[in-house]
Structure 1
Amino acid sequence: MTEVECSAAANGDLSTMITSSKVDANSSERTVKIRVMEDDTNMRLEDFAQSFATGQVVWAINKGWHKAKFIAMETDKYPGDHSFPVPVYKVHYLRFGKRYDEWMFGDSIVLVGPENDTKAAAKNEAFVKTT
């Protein structure tokens, strides 16, 4: 590694950091951004970035998992480090009005499919039991 940068979160009471590592230019590896969280969980930029086709049905989390349609993707500033752009995704919740459309990070969206359908149903059931 030739360069490592760390920047603390904007809010002083948070111990979240963004680490950017640049590797040798001759290497096939690329710059990797990692979010270091309070519980020592690392999230890479790839954890935020996902590929969806416009109109594709996805699961989006908002007080439980709901089916939604992917509308658009843009980049926005990461809440803890405004110099770190991350992708945000606009979704339209199925069976809800347009006013409920919202922008969210990629870690709040998963593709609809048999495995994720089962997980979403189980998590929704657990959520209902706790409320």
Structure 2
Amino acid sequence: MTVEVFERQGVKYAEVIRADIRVDITRFFSPPESSFQFGLLAHQAGFFEAPHYHKPFQREIADLQQMFVMQRGVVVIELYTDDGEFFQAIELRTGDAIVLIHGVHALRVVEDFQAISVKQGPFLGTENDKINVEAKKK
């Protein structure tokens, strides 16, 4: 099994790792140049990684990506093109994870849910975080 990739006209909009995907060794699905790395960490019992920190490195990030890791419930993530044309609905359940890479998205809650949300900072406040897009009919 591998990550599910959702593309339209050569543009990657999202990647999903389903809860039942298993890997034997650590595997990242994002290309190395991506501003947001998405993958699975896996090691055998007894593995030890020495205490460490990550080297400071100035990065310039022009795209804001977001990741959800579903802890409970069911949601549907709707993907839209930049001009608001709907093209994909993705159902997520407990244990599934998605990274939203490009484009417009909406979230529809099917069953009460909770998810871990991760995105690049800094957070600029609610009024500066989102731009609503007029969606075209599905």
**TM-score, scaled to structure 2:** 0.25
Which of the two has higher C-alpha Rg?
1
Structure ranking higher in helix proportion = 1
- Taking structure 1 as the reference length, what is the TM-score of the superposition? 0.26
